[in-house]
Each structure stands twice: as structure tokens, then as C-alpha cells.
Chain A
Amino acid sequence: MLIKINNLKKTYKMGEVNVEALGGVSFQIEEQEFVAIIGPSGSGKSTLMHILGCLDQPTAGNYFLDNEDVSRVSDDKLAEIRNKKIGFVFQQFNLLPKATILQNVSVPLIYAGVRGRRKQQHLAEKALQMVGLGDRMNHRPNEVSGGQRQRVAIARALINNPSLILADEPTGNLDSKTGKEIMKIFHQLNKEGHTIIMVTHNQEIANQAQRVIQIRDGLIQRDEVIA
């Protein structure tokens, strides 16, 4: 069991008003699962992903990652978990605009303490080849297409070989053809052993997953395994 969450709640304070983004969510995810999370806008999908990705902490409830309770640990400990165990792919790519593609992919290596420029470059090249971007490594992100940028982001997400890859609408900014290519990469990664959790608005993409969790108003409405 890779993930176990237990009655997870997240409340945002907006002045006097409390916004309950997650109202008590519980589920378990096994290793090598491919899970899609769907739901209407504002239902709490991203909030959930941020907590699963250790970018944020729940207001209440527990989160066990690899049997370790990470719902109440220090910022630096969370950073270490993000670096080692989690790869995050965002809708807006979130690449560093001034760095080259190779440098972008290498960033997690720096914080992992991987020493030596050669070694870093070698690992980054390998990751880029996996996503089909062996060339163009010395270009900057704005010099390549959206689909290629998302490939860079995926390469960056998997460079430290994390068990968990989280993707928040990774195809949201891409046309459907490019989206399909990106989905192929995720399936490939899943096959290689990475657990994948993906938020999507696209029913067709959701149907490619092994399991779909539907969220509404911060609560799980449906959680079903597809054939």
C-alpha cells in the first residue's frame, strides 16, 4: 500500500469565512495503480493533489505515504519527501524560463545532492530520452512547443525515480493529439512501475485509468475500478 488517507480535511480561512475545500476524504492507493480524479471545478481536486504531493498539509486527518504519517512533519521533511518520492506534473508546466531544458530537468538532482555535472547531465539526458526529447536539450522552454514543454516537465518529475507521479490536468493546456502522446508517456511510466494519480476534466482520459475517483464539494462521490 503506497497511500492511505484517513478523513482528510482542508479548510481555508478567507477572513471571517471558512472555505472547506476537503470535507473528509478517505481512500487507499496501492503501488502501480493508475488513478484518475475527476470532478467539477472548485470541488477540491487540486487541494487533494497538493496534500498528496506533500506541497500542503491537511487541516485534519492523516496521510500515510509508504506507511509513514506525513500529515504532521516539518517543512524540510516534506521537501525531502517531494524530492525523493514524488514527481509533480502541472497543467502550466511550471518550468524555469531562464534555464535550459537540461538545467530544468536537473533541478531535482541538485536538491537530492547528486554530485558532479557529468553525472547530472547523464541522468537528465536519460530522462529526456524516456519522454522522447533526446534533442533540443540546450533550448529554453519558450523555444519549444507546449507538448514538448510537458515532456520536459515529465522528465523532470521522474528524474529522481519517484514511486509516485502526480499530474494535475497535465493535458489541460494541450490539443487532443498532443494530449494523447503525453498520455502514452504516462501509461509507459505506469508500466515501468510508477504509481500515477492524475486529475482530469476529460472523461476519455479518465477512462484510460484503472480507477476513477470522483469528487464533489470536497467529498468523494464515487470511487470505482474500471474493468
Chain B
Amino acid sequence: MILEILRMSLDSLTANKLRSFLSMLGIIIGVGAVIAIVSVGSGAQSQVTSQISQLGSNIINIGPGISRGRSGRISFSATDVFTMELAEQLMRNCPSLKNIIPSVQASGLLIASNTNYQTSIIGVTPSYQEIYEYYPAVGQFVTTDHEENASNVIVLGAGLAEELFPGENPLGAKVKLFIRNRNLLFTVIGVMEEKGTGAMGNLENQAFIPASVILKKINNRKYVNGYTAQALSSETAKTAVGEIEYFLTRYLTDTNKFRITSQEQILETINQVTGTLSLMLGGIAGISLLVGGIGIMNIMLVSVTERTREIGIRKALGAKRKHILSQFLIESLAMSGFGGLIGIGLGWVGAVGVAKIGGWPLVVTHTSVVVAFSFSLLVGLFFGIYPARKAARLDPVIALSYE
């Protein structure tokens, strides 16, 4: 019997093709929007996430704490706490740490034989390469020896090398660093690989010298700005943060003097933000689904009125309430379900298009497809039930005499 009722419903839908299609439009647009938005949201999210995790999700930054100064202004508190020795102590006391490097840098003018270039000079230790997975393409990086002896050696970013020594081999060449009205002479020992612009900014035009050189020969003080640490793995990042926190709190006796941020935390925040955004856009799409549902209800009410006589005839011939109810419910379900399928198709196409333009991976999850489809069926059910009940409860005599 259900097969015959199904056929009746479909017959009536195909008899009014244009009308059925127009009634489906709301659902089509709603579902299409849900699919496209969720896909764009997760695509963008996965792109941001992958950019950040390129940095390594096990990276932890330790910097000066933020304190509120007079008149409530936010200022960084005194930084005279982070020394090279403290870095070594952290390394010894935090078993989840793999590497730790100081953050110290300066800005100066690099002078080669013909050209000069104003750039940032990063103070590094050998671990820098491992933490950022950034290695020299030719020559070598700063070694432990260089660091201990504060040797005047310099490693150039790929772009910088091209600026200072166009078309030449810079290895072994001398460059002068003009900084704070003094000149320091460095020997080029390496050129870094090309890495492009990432979330860390442009690395290509930076220069790298031993951290000790900056501390002893340029800044003349023993303090660095902070540290960049690397946990053994992404899984131990949280533990590592805890260990650092514990150690620094005891060592500095003041939690306001330092501040720890992990990539993990940043990632969480970003996921939260994009999640909220997707939810909001999804909500808007949900509203259009709702509107689509109302459209279906409207057309079903019209259909029930138009077919009052048919309902009367069917009832006179023995149709029970459930038969009439299912006939009309199947109609609205078929409309919303079919509309949902078309919407999924269109949303998919839209998602492919936006992913191409945005340059991120196409993410259409099974979940979003299943959820969108079930939601459209639910809309059809919810908005179809009232007209169908109205039809099922019609009085046969009144329905039969309906003109």
C-alpha cells in the first residue's frame, strides 16, 4: 500500500513540475548554503591550521609578562630576568623540552663590497635550525664553538645573500655590520635555504649570528627578550608548558614576570574563532532552510485546498486518516528531500569554486552532507505535518461538496 501511496505523491509532484521546483528552491538554497559555508569554513580553518602547524605545534614561547601600569595601560614588565644560564637551567629542569633558544635580535646595516642592506639580525644557537626546521642550503650554520667563542660569523637568508652578493658565491666573504655607530666585521659561513613567506614573516632577508655576539659585542648586557622552546612532541607540549611554568614560578617567585604561549594555545584560539564563525554562518543558512520549509508548507496548504475534492473522493472510497496523511507527508518529504539533494550538489560545486579561489583544500565532510540532508528531510517533515494533518482530518461530506 505504501508503494501505491508513494506513487500517488510522486505523480502529483511531477504533474506540477514548475511549482514543485519553485517550492523546493528555498530548501535548495538553504542546503546549498550550508554545504558551501561549512566547506569554506573548514577549508579556511585547515589552511590556517596547517600554516601554524608548519611552525610546529610543539613550539612554546616564553616572554616577559604583561602587567598593567599606572592609568591601566598595558606594558611589558621588566625583562631583566631571561639569561642564557636560565635557558640552560630550564633545559635541565624540564624533561619534556627538546630544545630551547634565546630570542635576541638587533637591527643594523649590512655592508658588502658594493651594496648595503638594512635588516634584522637574529641571534641564534645551533638549535635554531631544528626548532624552525630551517637549514642552510650552502655552507654551515652557527655552531656551538661559534656560540661559545662569540665568533664573528654570519649566515645569510637566501634573499639577503642575493641582495648583497648578486650572482656571486658569498661563502667566506666579509660583510660589515654597522650598528650603534660601530662597525663589526663578519665572515659569511652559510646561506639559508629558501623558505618563502610563512606565518613567521619573511625569513629570506634576515641574517643570523651567534646569540653571544649580540649579547657581548652589541648589547653589552646578559639579558635576552625571552626564549623559544620546543617540546619533545605536540603531545607533550602541554606538559612542557606546565614544567616551564612550575620552574619559572619558583625561580622568579613572581608569575607576572613571564608569560608562556604555546602554538597549541594559538591554534585552539583560532579554531575557536573559525568554529564560531562557521556556526554563525551555518545559523544564517539554517534560517534560509527554515524559510524554505515555510515555502513548502505554503505550497502544501495550497495543494490541500486545491485537492479537497480528491481527498473527499479518496475518503469516500475508504482512505483512512493515515493514508491521506502519508500521501501528503510523502509529498512534502519528497520535495524537501529532493531539494536537499540538489542543494548538496550545488553547494558542492560552490565549495569547489571557492576552494579554488581561496587556494585551500576542498573539505566537504560526510557529516555536513548527512546533516544537511537529514535537516532538509526534517524541515519537510516539520512543515509538511500541518498541511497533511489538515488534509487527513477533512470531513468527507464537506470535502466532496467542495467546488
B-contacting residues of A (Cβ < 8 Å)?
50, 53, 55-56, 75-76, 79-80, 82-84, 88, 90, 94-96, 98, 107-108, 110-113, 115, 156, 160
Contact = CB atoms under 8 A, between A and B. Distances in A.
B5 interface: yes
Contacts, number: 63
Contact of A56 (B5, B320, B322, B397): B397
A108 B317 contact: yes
Given A79-B319, A83-B318, A110 B313 contact: no
Given A94-B313, A98-B11, A98-B15, A111 B397 contact: no
A168 to B, nearest CB: 10
Contacts of B320: 75-76, 79-80, 111
Contacts of A115: 1
Interface of B: 1, 4-5, 11-12, 15, 309-310, 312-323, 395-397, 400
9 contacts: A79-B315, A79-B318, A79-B321, A84-B318, A95-B313, A96-B313, A110-B4, A111-B314, A113-B1
A54 to B, nearest CB: 9
A110 B1 contact: yes
A110 B316 contact: no
A107 B317 contact: yes
Contact of B316 (A75, A80, A82, A98): A82
A108 B397 contact: no
The 7 closest A-B pairs by CB, nearest first: A83-B318, A111-B318, A79-B320, A76-B320, A108-B317, A110-B4, A55-B396
Nearest to A98: B15
A94 B319 contact: no
A56 B312 CA distance: 12
Contact of A50 (B11, B15, B310, B397): B397
Nearest to A76: B320
Contacts of A84: 318
A204 to B, nearest CB: 27
Contacts of A160: 318
Contacts of A75: 320-321
